[in-house]
Amino acid sequence: MAREISSDTLRLLYVTMLRLRHFEERVADLLANGPSIKCPTHLYIGQEAVAAGVCANLRGDDYVFSTHRSHGHYLAKGGDLTALMAELYGKASGCSRGWGGSMHVAAREAGLPGSSAIVAGTIPIAVGAAMAFKMQKKSSVSVAFFGDGAANEGVFYEALNFASLKKLPVIFICENNLYSTHMPIEACLADIRIYKKAEAFAMPGIRIDGNDVVEVFKVSGEAIEAARRGKGPALLECMTYRWRGHVGPNYDLDKGLRSQEELDRWMSRCPIRTLERFLLEQGILSESEKEKLCKSIEQEVTDAIDLARESPYPDQAELFTNVFKETKDS
């Protein structure tokens, strides 16, 4: 399938995933070695192919709505890496001005209005944005990213129903990493085939390999273009795996939740290494180019950390700013 994609697109997918991985690995180190980042942080390591593959099909005027595990979506949609690092540090130069932290990042200029720590919380908002696009006769598409745990929430089913009923341009992307916080999916859902939920609402439902960035790119691209043409929504269940624990830098192997064998099996299917091998074999990427890319991204992340540390915290006078609707009299 990779041979059907242009070399430029394959390189773009690779670089995007590489940036996500380097950023998250450095954040993991910061979390493990000091109290510099104090907000709860949910890492995206292992799931990079989903955000990279989907967002490579999106335009600047398309909207993406994210979750508590938001860094990958933010960066893949074009959010500023330096502003994201500053946000993790709670600094005024952060993408949410230091008020949101890891779980509430935003990049309105890139088409990511916001993310939320509420499970399934942004799914109906994505549907609302799609409704607005349709009413305004725009060709923009809305994308809702969410985890498998969101399939336990009633609003997920309400959103699918309304989106299908109105044929809205919204794509539902379920990142099924097999665990809802610390519970395996089979302990939460009577039917773990989340993509099958689409059948009840007369919309396409497809399960794909969420660790194959080319498959994610191709299948999501078809769904996005169909939505642009007024064909309505689709539900994509991307099977993937988070390498680290639910929150923080640890692997959670000591909690008895999963085995080392399971983790090793999924790490051997690393989406970045898989594409990298293909690019090297096909001569699309050389070893020297790979090393240069890695060093460049590492330096970008290091510079972002330095700037974040040097930046000021928000002014206490702004504590109640943007909390309530402000009027002319206020």
The percent of residues in the chain predicted with pLDDT above 70, rounded, is: 99
What's the CATH superfamily of 2-318? Thiamin diphosphate (ThDP)-binding fold, Pyr/PP domains (3.40.50.970)
pLDDT in tens, 259-301: 999 999 999 999 999 999 999 999 999 999 999 999 999 999 9
How far from 144 is each of 62, 173, 265, 304, 325, CA to CA, in Å?
11, 6, 28, 28, 26
Instruction: Tell me the whole-structure pTM to 2 decimals.
Output: 0.94
Predicted local confidence at residue 41, as pLDDT = 97
* pLDDT given for residue 196 in this prediction: 97
Structure tokens that stand for 110 in this block? 């890139």
Angle at the Cα of 167 from the Cα atoms of 154 and 77, rounded to 5 degrees = 75
* Neighbour-count burial for 38-59, b at 16+ CB within 10 Å, e otherwise: eeebbbbbbbbbbbbbbbbbbe
Report the DSSP beta bridge partners of residue 180: 183
- Is pLDDT above 60 for 330? no
Percentage of the chain lying above the pLDDT 90 cut: 88
Distance (Å, rounded) from C-alpha 48 to C-alpha 299? 20
pLDDT in tens, 184-199: 899 989 999 999 999 9
Residue 181: the pLDDT is 87
The reported pLDDT for the residue numbered 35 is 82
Per residue in 213-223, pLDDT tens? 999 999 999 99
The tokens describing 104, both together, are 């509430």
Lowest mean pLDDT among 11-20, 201-210, 256-265: 256-265
pLDDT for res 277: 97
Q: What is the pLDDT of residues 85-144, one digit of tens each?
A: 999 999 999 999 999 999 999 999 999 999 999 999 999 999 999 999 999 999 999 999
Distance between CA atoms of residues 132 and 118, nearest Å: 22
Q: What is the pLDDT of residue 329?
A: 62
Provide the pLDDT for residue 182: 84
Q: What is the pLDDT of residue 44?
A: 98
- pLDDT on residue 237: 98
